[in-house]
Structure 1
Protein backbone atom coordinates (compact mmCIF):
# COMPACT_ATOMS: atom_id res chain seq x y z
CA UNK A 1 0.00 0.00 0.00
CA UNK A 2 1.33 3.44 -0.92
CA UNK A 3 0.54 6.98 0.24
CA UNK A 4 1.99 9.53 -2.18
CA UNK A 5 2.03 13.25 -1.45
CA UNK A 6 -0.97 12.91 0.88
CA UNK A 7 -2.28 16.04 2.54
CA UNK A 8 -5.45 16.51 4.56
CA UNK A 9 -7.31 19.51 5.88
CA UNK A 10 -10.94 20.03 6.85
CA UNK A 11 -12.59 22.90 4.98
CA UNK A 12 -11.20 25.08 2.21
CA UNK A 13 -9.27 27.30 4.61
CA UNK A 14 -8.71 24.90 7.47
CA UNK A 15 -5.20 24.20 8.75
CA UNK A 16 -3.31 21.27 7.23
CA UNK A 17 -3.54 18.27 9.55
CA UNK A 18 -1.31 16.21 7.25
CA UNK A 19 1.00 17.50 4.55
CA UNK A 20 3.14 15.80 1.87
CA UNK A 21 2.96 12.33 3.45
CA UNK A 22 4.80 9.59 1.55
CA UNK A 23 4.53 6.10 3.05
CA UNK A 24 4.90 2.53 1.92
CA UNK A 25 3.03 0.04 4.11
CA UNK A 26 4.11 -3.49 3.13
CA UNK A 27 1.91 -6.56 3.13
CA UNK A 28 2.17 -8.73 6.21
CA UNK A 29 3.49 -5.92 8.41
CA UNK A 30 2.41 -4.47 11.76
CA UNK A 31 2.77 -0.68 11.74
CA UNK A 32 2.55 1.45 14.89
CA UNK A 33 1.61 5.15 14.74
CA UNK A 34 2.53 7.54 17.56
CA UNK A 35 2.17 11.25 18.28
CA UNK A 36 0.66 13.77 20.65
CA UNK A 37 -3.06 14.30 21.18
CA UNK A 38 -4.61 16.28 18.34
CA UNK A 39 -1.50 15.84 16.22
CA UNK A 40 -3.17 14.00 13.34
CA UNK A 41 -2.85 10.30 14.23
CA UNK A 42 -6.55 9.57 13.84
CA UNK A 43 -6.73 11.55 10.61
CA UNK A 44 -3.84 9.54 9.19
CA UNK A 45 -5.56 6.28 10.17
CA UNK A 46 -8.85 7.37 8.58
CA UNK A 47 -7.07 8.24 5.33
CA UNK A 48 -5.19 4.92 5.37
CA UNK A 49 -8.45 3.01 5.97
CA UNK A 50 -10.31 4.93 3.26
CA UNK A 51 -12.82 6.37 5.71
CA UNK A 52 -11.97 9.84 4.44
CA UNK A 53 -10.30 10.96 1.22
CA UNK A 54 -7.05 12.96 1.20
CA UNK A 55 -7.28 16.60 0.16
CA UNK A 56 -4.15 16.16 -1.97
CA UNK A 57 -2.15 13.16 -3.09
CA UNK A 58 -3.22 9.56 -3.55
CA UNK A 59 -3.57 6.21 -1.78
CA UNK A 60 -3.05 3.08 -3.89
CA UNK A 61 -3.05 -0.72 -3.45
CA UNK A 62 -5.22 -0.58 -0.33
CA UNK A 63 -7.10 -3.83 -0.95
CA UNK A 64 -10.05 -4.69 1.27
CA UNK A 65 -10.00 -2.62 4.46
CA UNK A 66 -11.60 -2.65 7.90
CA UNK A 67 -11.44 0.03 10.59
CA UNK A 68 -12.02 0.20 14.33
CA UNK A 69 -12.62 3.86 15.28
CA UNK A 70 -11.63 5.47 18.55
CA UNK A 71 -15.32 5.77 19.45
CA UNK A 72 -17.98 3.29 18.39
CA UNK A 73 -21.52 4.71 17.88
CA UNK A 74 -23.75 2.51 20.10
CA UNK A 75 -26.94 4.37 19.18
CA UNK A 76 -27.31 2.40 15.93
CA UNK A 77 -30.77 0.72 15.78
CA UNK A 78 -29.54 -2.88 15.59
CA UNK A 79 -28.85 -5.83 17.81
CA UNK A 80 -25.17 -6.77 17.92
CA UNK A 81 -25.78 -9.85 15.76
CA UNK A 82 -27.82 -7.98 13.17
CA UNK A 83 -25.19 -5.24 12.98
CA UNK A 84 -22.37 -7.75 12.46
CA UNK A 85 -24.38 -9.69 9.90
CA UNK A 86 -25.12 -6.47 8.01
CA UNK A 87 -21.41 -5.55 7.97
CA UNK A 88 -20.55 -9.04 6.78
CA UNK A 89 -22.96 -8.71 3.87
CA UNK A 90 -21.41 -5.36 2.94
CA UNK A 91 -18.03 -7.11 2.82
CA UNK A 92 -19.44 -9.65 0.35
CA UNK A 93 -20.22 -12.55 2.69
CA UNK A 94 -23.50 -14.45 2.44
CA UNK A 95 -26.05 -13.93 5.18
CA UNK A 96 -25.46 -17.42 6.51
CA UNK A 97 -21.68 -16.99 6.60
CA UNK A 98 -22.02 -13.54 8.16
CA UNK A 99 -24.15 -14.95 10.98
CA UNK A 100 -21.73 -17.84 11.51
CA UNK A 101 -18.74 -15.52 11.76
CA UNK A 102 -20.64 -13.09 13.97
CA UNK A 103 -21.40 -15.89 16.44
CA UNK A 104 -17.80 -17.13 16.24
CA UNK A 105 -16.31 -13.70 17.01
CA UNK A 106 -18.83 -13.05 19.78
CA UNK A 107 -17.72 -16.28 21.41
CA UNK A 108 -14.05 -15.48 20.94
CA UNK A 109 -14.32 -11.96 22.36
CA UNK A 110 -16.64 -12.92 25.21
CA UNK A 111 -19.98 -11.31 24.36
CA UNK A 112 -21.90 -14.33 23.03
CA UNK A 113 -24.49 -13.91 25.80
CA UNK A 114 -25.23 -10.37 24.57
CA UNK A 115 -25.14 -10.84 20.82
CA UNK A 116 -28.94 -10.58 20.49
CA UNK A 117 -29.13 -7.46 22.67
CA UNK A 118 -29.67 -3.97 21.16
CA UNK A 119 -26.43 -2.03 20.73
CA UNK A 120 -27.84 0.95 22.64
CA UNK A 121 -28.24 -1.21 25.73
CA UNK A 122 -24.69 -2.57 25.77
CA UNK A 123 -21.87 -1.34 28.00
CA UNK A 124 -19.01 0.64 26.49
CA UNK A 125 -16.69 -2.34 26.79
CA UNK A 126 -19.11 -4.69 25.03
CA UNK A 127 -19.71 -2.13 22.27
CA UNK A 128 -15.97 -2.00 21.76
CA UNK A 129 -15.91 -5.79 21.40
CA UNK A 130 -18.58 -5.50 18.70
CA UNK A 131 -16.47 -2.87 16.93
CA UNK A 132 -13.46 -5.20 17.00
CA UNK A 133 -15.53 -8.15 15.76
CA UNK A 134 -16.83 -6.25 12.72
CA UNK A 135 -13.28 -5.39 11.67
CA UNK A 136 -12.05 -9.00 11.70
CA UNK A 137 -15.26 -10.48 10.29
CA UNK A 138 -14.28 -10.53 6.60
CA UNK A 139 -10.51 -11.13 7.04
CA UNK A 140 -9.45 -7.84 5.39
CA UNK A 141 -6.17 -7.15 3.57
CA UNK A 142 -5.79 -3.96 5.63
CA UNK A 143 -6.79 -3.59 9.27
CA UNK A 144 -6.70 -0.15 10.92
CA UNK A 145 -7.10 0.06 14.71
CA UNK A 146 -7.46 3.45 16.40
CA UNK A 147 -7.04 2.72 20.14
CA UNK A 148 -9.08 -0.45 19.68
CA UNK A 149 -7.87 -1.85 23.04
CA UNK A 150 -9.36 1.06 25.02
CA UNK A 151 -12.37 -0.05 27.06
CA UNK A 152 -11.63 -3.77 26.75
CA UNK A 153 -11.01 -5.96 29.79
CA UNK A 154 -7.60 -7.62 30.04
CA UNK A 155 -8.68 -11.04 28.69
CA UNK A 156 -10.20 -9.34 25.63
CA UNK A 157 -7.06 -7.25 25.13
CA UNK A 158 -5.01 -10.43 25.12
CA UNK A 159 -7.39 -11.98 22.58
CA UNK A 160 -7.12 -8.89 20.38
CA UNK A 161 -3.31 -9.06 20.54
CA UNK A 162 -3.46 -12.62 19.28
CA UNK A 163 -5.96 -11.77 16.55
CA UNK A 164 -3.71 -8.98 15.26
CA UNK A 165 -0.72 -11.32 15.06
CA UNK A 166 -2.85 -13.86 13.18
CA UNK A 167 -3.90 -11.29 10.58
CA UNK A 168 -0.30 -10.18 10.06
CA UNK A 169 0.85 -13.78 9.66
CA UNK A 170 -1.94 -14.27 7.11
CA UNK A 171 -0.40 -11.47 5.02
CA UNK A 172 -2.54 -8.50 6.07
CA UNK A 173 -1.20 -5.03 6.81
CA UNK A 174 -2.21 -3.84 10.28
CA UNK A 175 -1.85 -0.18 11.30
CA UNK A 176 -2.60 0.75 14.91
CA UNK A 177 -2.50 3.44 17.60
CA UNK A 178 -2.40 2.54 21.28
CA UNK A 179 -1.42 4.37 24.48
CA UNK A 180 0.59 1.41 25.81
CA UNK A 181 4.14 1.52 24.33
CA UNK A 182 4.53 -2.19 25.13
CA UNK A 183 1.57 -3.17 22.95
CA UNK A 184 2.81 -5.84 20.51
CA UNK A 185 6.31 -4.30 20.74
CA UNK A 186 8.04 -7.50 19.64
CA UNK A 187 5.81 -7.78 16.56
CA UNK A 188 6.02 -4.21 15.22
CA UNK A 189 7.70 -3.91 11.83
CA UNK A 190 7.92 -0.11 11.77
CA UNK A 191 6.86 2.82 13.97
CA UNK A 192 5.91 6.25 12.61
CA UNK A 193 5.35 9.53 14.44
CA UNK A 194 2.92 12.23 13.33
CA UNK A 195 4.52 15.61 14.05
CA UNK A 196 3.35 19.03 12.79
CA UNK A 197 1.54 17.44 9.85
CA UNK A 198 4.50 15.28 8.82
CA UNK A 199 4.86 11.52 9.27
CA UNK A 200 8.38 10.37 10.11
CA UNK A 201 9.94 7.02 10.97
CA UNK A 202 10.50 6.76 14.72
CA UNK A 203 13.45 4.41 14.14
CA UNK A 204 15.29 4.91 10.84
CA UNK A 205 15.25 1.78 8.67
CA UNK A 206 19.04 1.94 8.45
CA UNK A 207 19.24 1.27 12.20
CA UNK A 208 16.91 -1.73 12.17
CA UNK A 209 18.43 -5.14 12.89
CA UNK A 210 17.98 -7.42 9.88
CA UNK A 211 17.78 -11.19 9.55
CA UNK A 212 19.14 -12.96 6.45
CA UNK A 213 17.40 -16.17 5.34
CA UNK A 214 18.83 -18.29 2.52
CA UNK A 215 16.34 -20.48 0.65
CA UNK A 216 16.43 -22.71 -2.41
CA UNK A 217 14.68 -21.21 -5.40
CA UNK A 218 11.98 -23.12 -7.23
CA UNK A 219 8.36 -22.79 -8.33
CA UNK A 220 6.16 -22.24 -5.29
CA UNK A 221 3.06 -20.04 -4.92
CA UNK A 222 4.13 -19.49 -1.30
CA UNK A 223 7.02 -17.31 -2.55
CA UNK A 224 4.68 -14.87 -4.30
CA UNK A 225 3.51 -13.18 -1.09
CA UNK A 226 5.86 -13.23 1.88
CA UNK A 227 5.21 -11.62 5.30
CA UNK A 228 6.88 -8.22 5.51
CA UNK A 229 7.79 -8.11 1.79
CA UNK A 230 11.47 -8.98 2.44
CA UNK A 231 14.09 -7.74 0.00
CA UNK A 232 15.25 -10.60 -2.23
CA UNK A 233 18.84 -11.08 -3.40
CA UNK A 234 20.28 -13.83 -5.60
CA UNK A 235 23.20 -14.77 -3.34
CA UNK A 236 24.44 -17.68 -5.48
CA UNK A 237 23.03 -19.99 -8.17
CA UNK A 238 19.86 -21.66 -6.95
CA UNK A 239 19.76 -19.74 -3.66
CA UNK A 240 17.84 -16.57 -2.79
CA UNK A 241 18.65 -14.48 0.28
CA UNK A 242 15.73 -12.78 2.02
CA UNK A 243 16.41 -9.64 4.07
CA UNK A 244 13.85 -9.33 6.88
CA UNK A 245 13.53 -7.23 10.03
CA UNK A 246 13.80 -9.16 13.30
CA UNK A 247 10.28 -8.00 14.15
CA UNK A 248 8.96 -9.94 11.16
CA UNK A 249 11.42 -12.82 10.88
CA UNK A 250 9.38 -15.31 12.99
CA UNK A 251 6.31 -14.92 10.78
CA UNK A 252 8.45 -15.19 7.65
CA UNK A 253 10.20 -18.37 8.84
CA UNK A 254 6.90 -19.94 9.86
CA UNK A 255 5.51 -19.16 6.41
CA UNK A 256 8.53 -20.74 4.67
CA UNK A 257 8.67 -23.84 6.86
CA UNK A 258 4.97 -24.65 6.49
CA UNK A 259 4.75 -23.94 2.76
CA UNK A 260 3.17 -26.48 0.40
CA UNK A 261 5.07 -27.52 -1.68
CA UNK A 262 7.96 -27.27 0.75
CA UNK A 263 10.65 -24.60 0.63
CA UNK A 264 14.17 -25.54 1.73
CA UNK A 265 15.62 -23.06 4.24
CA UNK A 266 19.41 -23.36 4.00
CA UNK A 267 20.57 -20.88 6.64
CA UNK A 268 19.45 -18.05 8.94
CA UNK A 269 21.85 -15.27 9.98
CA UNK A 270 21.79 -11.85 11.61
CA UNK A 271 23.08 -9.14 9.33
CA UNK A 272 26.61 -8.19 10.32
CA UNK A 273 27.49 -11.64 11.67
CA UNK A 274 29.77 -12.37 8.74
CA UNK A 275 27.16 -14.28 6.75
Structure 2
Protein backbone atom coordinates (compact mmCIF):
# COMPACT_ATOMS: atom_id res chain seq x y z
CA UNK A 1 0.00 0.00 0.00
CA UNK A 2 1.14 3.53 -0.72
CA UNK A 3 0.19 7.09 0.18
CA UNK A 4 1.51 9.76 -2.18
CA UNK A 5 1.22 13.47 -1.30
CA UNK A 6 -1.83 12.76 0.89
CA UNK A 7 -3.53 15.60 2.69
CA UNK A 8 -6.73 15.74 4.72
CA UNK A 9 -8.85 18.60 5.98
CA UNK A 10 -12.53 18.98 6.76
CA UNK A 11 -14.18 21.78 4.85
CA UNK A 12 -12.64 23.95 2.15
CA UNK A 13 -11.19 26.39 4.66
CA UNK A 14 -10.47 23.88 7.39
CA UNK A 15 -7.12 23.23 9.01
CA UNK A 16 -4.94 20.62 7.32
CA UNK A 17 -4.86 17.61 9.66
CA UNK A 18 -2.47 15.74 7.37
CA UNK A 19 -0.42 17.29 4.61
CA UNK A 20 2.09 15.99 2.08
CA UNK A 21 2.12 12.48 3.52
CA UNK A 22 4.21 9.93 1.60
CA UNK A 23 4.26 6.39 2.94
CA UNK A 24 4.89 3.01 1.35
CA UNK A 25 4.36 -0.21 3.30
CA UNK A 26 5.34 -3.50 1.71
CA UNK A 27 3.95 -6.96 2.50
CA UNK A 28 5.44 -8.33 5.71
CA UNK A 29 6.11 -4.92 7.27
CA UNK A 30 4.96 -3.95 10.77
CA UNK A 31 4.80 -0.17 11.09
CA UNK A 32 4.16 2.06 14.11
CA UNK A 33 2.44 5.42 13.69
CA UNK A 34 3.11 7.73 16.64
CA UNK A 35 2.30 11.34 17.50
CA UNK A 36 0.62 13.55 20.04
CA UNK A 37 -3.14 13.44 20.57
CA UNK A 38 -5.05 15.14 17.77
CA UNK A 39 -2.23 15.10 15.23
CA UNK A 40 -4.05 12.86 12.75
CA UNK A 41 -2.92 9.31 13.52
CA UNK A 42 -6.46 7.91 13.46
CA UNK A 43 -7.27 9.95 10.36
CA UNK A 44 -4.29 8.38 8.62
CA UNK A 45 -5.52 4.86 9.39
CA UNK A 46 -9.05 5.71 8.25
CA UNK A 47 -7.66 6.97 4.93
CA UNK A 48 -5.75 3.72 4.44
CA UNK A 49 -8.88 1.74 5.35
CA UNK A 50 -10.90 3.64 2.74
CA UNK A 51 -13.36 4.94 5.34
CA UNK A 52 -12.41 8.51 4.46
CA UNK A 53 -11.16 10.05 1.22
CA UNK A 54 -8.07 12.26 1.05
CA UNK A 55 -8.48 15.96 0.31
CA UNK A 56 -5.24 15.82 -1.70
CA UNK A 57 -2.98 13.11 -3.05
CA UNK A 58 -3.83 9.45 -3.50
CA UNK A 59 -4.03 6.25 -1.50
CA UNK A 60 -3.24 2.99 -3.33
CA UNK A 61 -4.03 -0.24 -1.53
CA UNK A 62 -3.80 -3.68 -3.08
CA UNK A 63 -6.40 -5.98 -1.58
CA UNK A 64 -8.75 -5.45 1.32
CA UNK A 65 -8.02 -3.90 4.70
CA UNK A 66 -9.19 -5.05 8.13
CA UNK A 67 -9.55 -2.23 10.66
CA UNK A 68 -9.92 -1.99 14.44
CA UNK A 69 -11.27 1.51 15.13
CA UNK A 70 -10.32 3.60 18.14
CA UNK A 71 -13.92 3.33 19.34
CA UNK A 72 -16.05 0.27 18.64
CA UNK A 73 -19.85 0.79 18.58
CA UNK A 74 -21.27 -1.94 20.88
CA UNK A 75 -24.94 -1.05 20.30
CA UNK A 76 -25.26 -3.28 17.23
CA UNK A 77 -28.18 -5.71 16.91
CA UNK A 78 -26.05 -8.89 17.00
CA UNK A 79 -24.56 -11.26 19.47
CA UNK A 80 -20.79 -11.70 19.32
CA UNK A 81 -20.83 -14.82 17.15
CA UNK A 82 -23.41 -13.50 14.68
CA UNK A 83 -21.50 -10.24 14.31
CA UNK A 84 -18.23 -12.02 13.55
CA UNK A 85 -20.00 -14.32 11.09
CA UNK A 86 -21.41 -11.32 9.24
CA UNK A 87 -18.02 -9.58 9.09
CA UNK A 88 -16.44 -12.76 7.76
CA UNK A 89 -19.05 -12.99 5.02
CA UNK A 90 -18.41 -9.34 4.08
CA UNK A 91 -14.75 -10.26 3.63
CA UNK A 92 -15.73 -13.04 1.24
CA UNK A 93 -15.44 -16.06 3.53
CA UNK A 94 -17.87 -18.93 3.24
CA UNK A 95 -20.34 -19.25 6.10
CA UNK A 96 -18.57 -22.36 7.36
CA UNK A 97 -15.12 -20.74 7.25
CA UNK A 98 -16.36 -17.52 8.85
CA UNK A 99 -17.98 -19.53 11.65
CA UNK A 100 -14.80 -21.55 12.17
CA UNK A 101 -12.56 -18.48 12.33
CA UNK A 102 -15.00 -16.66 14.61
CA UNK A 103 -14.93 -19.58 17.03
CA UNK A 104 -11.12 -19.73 16.88
CA UNK A 105 -10.67 -16.06 17.75
CA UNK A 106 -13.32 -16.05 20.44
CA UNK A 107 -11.47 -18.98 21.98
CA UNK A 108 -8.02 -17.35 21.67
CA UNK A 109 -9.34 -14.26 23.46
CA UNK A 110 -10.98 -16.39 26.16
CA UNK A 111 -14.55 -15.32 25.44
CA UNK A 112 -15.98 -18.39 23.71
CA UNK A 113 -18.59 -18.57 26.49
CA UNK A 114 -19.87 -15.12 25.41
CA UNK A 115 -20.48 -16.09 21.79
CA UNK A 116 -24.25 -15.88 22.15
CA UNK A 117 -24.31 -12.70 24.25
CA UNK A 118 -25.65 -9.53 22.57
CA UNK A 119 -22.92 -6.95 22.01
CA UNK A 120 -24.90 -4.39 24.01
CA UNK A 121 -24.64 -6.60 27.10
CA UNK A 122 -20.92 -7.24 26.93
CA UNK A 123 -18.43 -5.41 29.14
CA UNK A 124 -16.22 -2.77 27.51
CA UNK A 125 -13.20 -5.08 27.64
CA UNK A 126 -15.07 -8.00 26.09
CA UNK A 127 -16.48 -5.72 23.38
CA UNK A 128 -12.93 -4.66 22.55
CA UNK A 129 -11.94 -8.31 22.16
CA UNK A 130 -14.78 -8.76 19.66
CA UNK A 131 -13.66 -5.59 17.86
CA UNK A 132 -10.16 -7.01 17.49
CA UNK A 133 -11.43 -10.47 16.52
CA UNK A 134 -13.52 -9.06 13.64
CA UNK A 135 -10.36 -7.67 12.04
CA UNK A 136 -8.15 -10.68 12.67
CA UNK A 137 -10.53 -13.29 11.31
CA UNK A 138 -10.51 -11.62 7.89
CA UNK A 139 -6.83 -12.46 7.31
CA UNK A 140 -6.74 -9.37 5.06
CA UNK A 141 -3.57 -8.19 3.25
CA UNK A 142 -3.64 -4.95 5.29
CA UNK A 143 -4.31 -4.86 9.05
CA UNK A 144 -4.91 -1.50 10.76
CA UNK A 145 -4.91 -1.27 14.57
CA UNK A 146 -5.96 2.05 16.10
CA UNK A 147 -5.29 1.87 19.86
CA UNK A 148 -6.59 -1.70 19.62
CA UNK A 149 -4.86 -2.75 22.87
CA UNK A 150 -6.75 -0.18 24.95
CA UNK A 151 -9.24 -1.86 27.30
CA UNK A 152 -7.77 -5.34 26.88
CA UNK A 153 -6.50 -7.37 29.82
CA UNK A 154 -2.81 -8.42 29.82
CA UNK A 155 -3.54 -11.89 28.42
CA UNK A 156 -5.56 -10.44 25.53
CA UNK A 157 -2.87 -7.84 24.83
CA UNK A 158 -0.36 -10.68 24.51
CA UNK A 159 -2.68 -12.47 22.07
CA UNK A 160 -2.94 -9.32 19.96
CA UNK A 161 0.84 -8.82 20.05
CA UNK A 162 1.26 -12.36 18.74
CA UNK A 163 -1.47 -11.93 16.14
CA UNK A 164 0.13 -8.75 14.75
CA UNK A 165 3.47 -10.54 14.49
CA UNK A 166 1.78 -13.53 12.83
CA UNK A 167 0.05 -11.30 10.28
CA UNK A 168 3.23 -9.51 9.24
CA UNK A 169 5.17 -12.75 9.31
CA UNK A 170 2.64 -14.28 6.94
CA UNK A 171 3.07 -11.40 4.48
CA UNK A 172 0.46 -8.91 5.66
CA UNK A 173 1.13 -5.18 5.98
CA UNK A 174 0.36 -4.04 9.54
CA UNK A 175 0.02 -0.41 10.67
CA UNK A 176 -0.68 0.32 14.32
CA UNK A 177 -1.18 3.19 16.72
CA UNK A 178 -0.70 2.66 20.45
CA UNK A 179 0.09 4.90 23.40
CA UNK A 180 2.63 2.45 24.83
CA UNK A 181 6.04 3.24 23.28
CA UNK A 182 7.22 -0.31 24.06
CA UNK A 183 4.39 -1.94 22.11
CA UNK A 184 5.88 -4.52 19.71
CA UNK A 185 9.34 -3.12 20.38
CA UNK A 186 11.95 -5.04 18.43
CA UNK A 187 9.39 -6.31 15.92
CA UNK A 188 8.50 -3.15 14.01
CA UNK A 189 10.16 -2.64 10.66
CA UNK A 190 9.63 1.15 10.70
CA UNK A 191 8.25 3.86 12.96
CA UNK A 192 6.83 7.22 11.89
CA UNK A 193 5.58 10.26 13.77
CA UNK A 194 2.79 12.64 12.74
CA UNK A 195 3.75 16.21 13.64
CA UNK A 196 1.53 19.09 14.67
CA UNK A 197 1.99 20.44 11.14
CA UNK A 198 0.34 17.31 9.69
CA UNK A 199 3.56 15.97 8.17
CA UNK A 200 4.66 12.35 8.58
CA UNK A 201 8.34 11.80 9.40
CA UNK A 202 10.50 8.87 10.38
CA UNK A 203 10.61 8.60 14.16
CA UNK A 204 13.93 9.32 15.82
CA UNK A 205 13.90 6.14 17.90
CA UNK A 206 15.04 2.95 16.15
CA UNK A 207 12.16 0.75 15.06
CA UNK A 208 13.99 -2.58 15.38
CA UNK A 209 16.11 -3.74 18.29
CA UNK A 210 19.70 -4.56 17.35
CA UNK A 211 20.18 -7.37 19.83
CA UNK A 212 18.22 -9.90 21.82
CA UNK A 213 17.36 -13.50 22.39
CA UNK A 214 17.05 -15.98 19.58
CA UNK A 215 15.09 -19.22 19.54
CA UNK A 216 16.18 -22.33 17.70
CA UNK A 217 13.36 -24.60 16.57
CA UNK A 218 14.35 -27.97 15.13
CA UNK A 219 11.70 -29.75 13.07
CA UNK A 220 11.41 -32.85 10.96
CA UNK A 221 9.85 -32.21 7.55
CA UNK A 222 8.01 -35.25 6.13
CA UNK A 223 9.75 -36.64 3.04
CA UNK A 224 12.03 -33.59 2.99
CA UNK A 225 9.20 -31.48 1.58
CA UNK A 226 8.92 -27.68 1.80
CA UNK A 227 7.96 -25.98 5.05
CA UNK A 228 4.40 -24.63 5.20
CA UNK A 229 3.83 -21.19 3.71
CA UNK A 230 5.61 -17.95 4.59
CA UNK A 231 7.10 -18.33 8.06
CA UNK A 232 6.60 -15.70 10.82
CA UNK A 233 9.76 -13.82 11.71
CA UNK A 234 11.58 -14.84 8.49
CA UNK A 235 13.71 -17.44 10.31
CA UNK A 236 17.17 -18.51 9.17
CA UNK A 237 17.01 -22.12 7.93
CA UNK A 238 19.80 -24.65 8.45
CA UNK A 239 19.59 -28.16 7.05
CA UNK A 240 20.39 -30.91 9.57
CA UNK A 241 20.74 -34.67 9.24
CA UNK A 242 18.10 -36.44 7.17
CA UNK A 243 14.93 -34.38 6.76
CA UNK A 244 15.47 -32.25 9.87
CA UNK A 245 15.75 -28.45 9.67
CA UNK A 246 16.78 -25.86 12.28
CA UNK A 247 14.93 -22.54 12.21
CA UNK A 248 16.55 -19.62 14.07
CA UNK A 249 14.22 -16.71 14.81
CA UNK A 250 13.93 -13.74 17.19
CA UNK A 251 12.38 -14.95 20.45
CA UNK A 252 9.50 -12.50 20.06
CA UNK A 253 8.43 -14.36 16.90
CA UNK A 254 8.85 -17.88 18.27
CA UNK A 255 5.27 -18.42 19.48
CA UNK A 256 3.86 -17.29 16.14
CA UNK A 257 6.37 -19.50 14.30
CA UNK A 258 5.50 -22.59 16.34
CA UNK A 259 1.76 -21.99 15.88
CA UNK A 260 2.28 -21.67 12.12
CA UNK A 261 4.37 -24.82 11.92
CA UNK A 262 1.96 -26.92 13.96
CA UNK A 263 -1.19 -25.79 12.19
CA UNK A 264 0.14 -25.36 8.63
CA UNK A 265 0.29 -27.86 5.80
CA UNK A 266 2.16 -30.08 5.55
CA UNK A 267 2.35 -30.68 9.30
CA UNK A 268 5.84 -30.94 10.74
CA UNK A 269 7.17 -32.67 13.85
CA UNK A 270 8.89 -30.37 16.35
CA UNK A 271 12.05 -32.05 17.64
CA UNK A 272 13.48 -29.38 19.92
CA UNK A 273 13.04 -25.76 21.01
CA UNK A 274 15.89 -23.94 22.71
CA UNK A 275 16.80 -20.35 23.57
CA UNK A 276 20.06 -18.74 22.51
CA UNK A 277 21.41 -15.30 23.36
CA UNK A 278 23.03 -13.62 20.37
CA UNK A 279 23.64 -10.12 19.08
CA UNK A 280 21.40 -9.38 16.11
Hey, which bits of structure 1, 4+ residues long, moved more than 3 A? 225-229
Matched, 1:71 2:71: yes
Partner of 1:44 in structure 2?
44
User: What is the CA–CA distance in structure 2 between the aligned matches of 1:162 and 1:228, rounded to whole Å?
Assistant: 11
- Contact 1:27-1:227 within 8 A present in 2 as well: no
How far 1:62 sits from its partner (Å)?
3.4
Work out whether 1:22 is the aligned partner of 2:22.
yes
- Counting matched residue pairs gives 231
Q: How many Å separate the matches in 2 of 1:208 and 1:85?
A: 38
CA distance in 1, matches of 2:179, 2:205: 22
Q: How does 1:96-115 map to 2 (within 5 A)?
A: 96-115=96-115
Is the counterpart of residue 199 in structure 1 residue 200 in structure 2? yes
Aligned mates of 1:179, 1:147 — CA distance in 2: 7
CA distance in 2, matches of 1:28, 1:84: 25
SS in 1 for 2:103: helix
In 2, the alpha carbon distance for the partners of 1:93 and 1:189 equals: 30
Within 1, Cα distance between the matches of 2:57 and 2:231?
28
Q: Which runs of 5+ in 1 are unaligned?
A: 210-220, 230-245, 261-269
In structure 2, stretches of 5+ residues that fail to align are 211-225, 235-248, 266-278
Structure-1 separation of matches of 2:233 and 2:62: 15
Aligned equivalents of 1:134 and 1:4: distance in 2?
Answer: 29
1:81-120 residue pairs with structure 2 within 5 A? 81-120=81-120
Change (3 A) 1:93 1:125: same
Residue in structure 2 matched with residue 11 of structure 1 by the alignment: 11
Aligned to 2:146: 146
Instruction: Please tell me whether the aligned partners of residues 4 and 21 of structure 1 are also in contact (alpha carbons under 8 angstroms).
Output: yes
- Please provide the CA RMSD for this pair: 3.2
Deviates more, 1:103-112 or 1:60-69: 60-69
- State the TM-score, normalized to the length of structure 2: 0.74
Deviation of residue 226 (structure 1)? 9.7
